[in-house]
Structure 1
Amino acid sequence: MQQPSGLSKRSLAIAGLSTIVEWYDFTLYLYLATLLSRIFYGGGAAGVGHVLAGFAIAYLMRPLGAIVFGHIGDRHGRRPTMLLSMALMSAAMLATALLPTQAQAGPIAGWLLLALRCVMAFSVGGEYTGVVAYLLEGAPPGRRGLITSLASAASEVGGLLAVALSALTVALLDETALADWGWRIPFLVGAGLAALILLARSRIEESPDFLAQRARGSIPAQPLRLSLRAYRPAIGRGFAISALGSITYYVGIVYVPSFLIGTGRMGEADALTLSTLAALVVILVTPLVGALSDRIGRRPVLVALALAGVALPALLFALMAQGSALGGALLGATLLAALGGAVSAVGAVTTAEQFPGEGRLSGLAFGATSATALFGGLTPYLSHQLTQASGWASAPGWLIAIVALGVLPVLWRLPESPPKRQQPC
């Protein structure tokens, strides 16, 4: 059978870079957790807890969004689902920037913030899986790891923009200006970025895999049912891979500023500056690991990263809490960032490769996205509560280690598809 041709470089670039907006907004919320806690929940450890709890609750909407958008993508094409998800993200970010504060509206302000986080999580649920599937299906077979890792690298560019703008805003404005209007600036910037990406996406091509399915009449009538009936082992493998990727990213990277501020090691501006450096590390590491997985395979890279996830994080969190700002904190944050970026790079392509083209987005929704909701949305809040209750600085690192150890047997038995022999489904 003739294989579908790949996508143009232009379409691949637009799809890969568009994840900038997705992670800009979600990481922005966590990077500004202490500031948002004062504006919407009264501040203090309890206020930060409310912000992180809201993040966890909203993240439970992510699998639902992935299922809805996954059905659209499997039935009507990857392009429509990416346009719809970005349009919804644009509206949610703009609405967040226009919210009243607690001082202006009372407790309802916090509830409105939570409601918009739920809308954002719903749209993100379909966004990342759609982009990963699109890049995988449009890339040359021997470069799928590298091309698909662009989604992870671009997402960290979004994280870098979020933390850099957050640090700049906090550094340049006093507390009164921040509470009155300054906190809105990063969200307005995000809404503008989303609108630009939406405009660029309107001109991309449809996935060649989906066009091939349409040509041969193999588009599934009920992709959700197909995924649950035929792809259960693949869903389980995708869940395990995404669990490791989610906890190393959200605890090992995004939670770090709140950890450093909460343990008294740094102020807001210094912690955000350190996270900017960590984001640069992730951007450098991600394409290198994606390309490495093209050369030696996905399984050995994932197994090595899981072993690192067992051995290193607890030590690195203790180092950040006890070391100097320019020594231990910098070393711990950058090594954790490298680990999280590496897992994200190879995890994205590996989870997508577990499924054939028919029903791929729905399979990712049940496996990868459900794991992200549990191990991405919940674990920053759990890390905060454990650290506050026990005073044990290593607690977040042990959470990562436990998950890494739990998924290691699945990764060890992961069926390898040699990248050089992979063919589009």
Structure 2
Amino acid sequence: MLTTTDLRGSDTDPRTVLPRAAVDVGAAAQRIQPILDDVRDRGLPAVLAATQRFDGVELSDVRVPREHLRTALEGLDPAVRAALETTIQRARAVHADQRRQDVTTRLAPGGTVTERWVPVERVGLYVPGGLAVYPSSVVMNVVPAQEAGVASLAIASPPQRDHGGRVHPAILAACELLGVDEVYSVGGAQAVAMFAYGIENVRAVDMVTGPGNIYVTAAKRQLRGLVGIDSEAGPTEIAILADRTADPLHVAADLISQAEHDPAAASVLVTDSEELLAEVQRTLPKLVGATKHTERVTEALSGPQSGAILVDDVEHGLRVVNAYAAEHLEIQTADAREMALRVRSAGAIFVGPYAPVSLGDYCAGSNHVLPTGGCARHSSGLSVQTFLRGVHIIEYDKPALAEVAGHVVALANAEDLPAHGEAVQVRFR
């Protein structure tokens, strides 16, 4: 089921041969640009028209009434409510510890620089609602924003025809649990445009975060600058670095768990054990045939974005997974923790046989909004820091400025900016 690439004995750069989803955000950006322009120019009528066109739902307004949130929570399955409450509690514990403290550095008597961490004022949070519905993504977006101290939060999620054109009740229930009552029945590129430009009765935001389909990603790319964004999220992905000590049943189940998200999801196994690979290949068809979304999983596992990579040894495997820079990386080796500490590029790392990616999706306390498509080489997942800005406060008195005045003048003249130096010298005449 998984296409195998044998890198044993090869010094090929893994980045040139590793499976990867083919995502053309540029083409999608061209397709959604008219939607963005229409929302900018016409506001609410453009959003309603796009909602009818793409979601098949006719609405007169996009704001979810407050009572819908309360009703959704009252009707939520008690087991799901308990699970969400646990997820919220654990996420709060982890994200509360991420908050940076202001720091003042004293460079001279009378001369200090203070770095203050200031939260973004208003954020629009996008929660997907396509092939699956993600109340957990409400938690992962809202909790770090709240812990950062963001004053104003708004959530957008696609309306569901199966629920009378309303946002899915599980998402509304999660909003109610988290105390977020500004919720909009809007999905896709039009939701990002609504947040970026503002429309009737919806104030524009400073930042848009949250995963979505390729059109949401394209809209975030096009509107970046007008608003801040967290990342350009692509299809989900899992890489598993495993040796002969790994349980093939665990490995197969974990590969399937991410393939369940989307036909474009990527599941990659990196191993130095032919025996493990053979057993995983034998196990996969049995598990795939028994899972609910068999067709979706089969398409994902057999697609060009998924595969198995044979390597010389675990050290070689470590180089491969660092090159791949997976959104989710599982380490299932004899020395899993030691290997995990040597990983340089991954959105999140799951160590050992009892830390599957599913745990991180829900109840680990970590955040599941993570960089995809190799972006973990340079970017981080969603966190409290996403919603904070570092602002420097410079305080110098006259003696402190005098101490470095000559240096400022010298550098200003070297850069042919004499007025810079004059702005210092004028203070001492």
Q: Say whether the fold is shared (TM-score over 0.5).
A: no
TM-score bracket for this pair, using the shorter chain length = under 0.3
Greater Rg, structure 1 or structure 2?
A: 2
* TM-score normalised by structure 1 residue count: 0.28
Q: Higher helix proportion, which one?
A: 1
* TM-score normalised by structure 2 residue count: 0.28
Query: Quick one: higher RCO (CA 8 Å, sep 6+), 1 or 2?
Result: 1
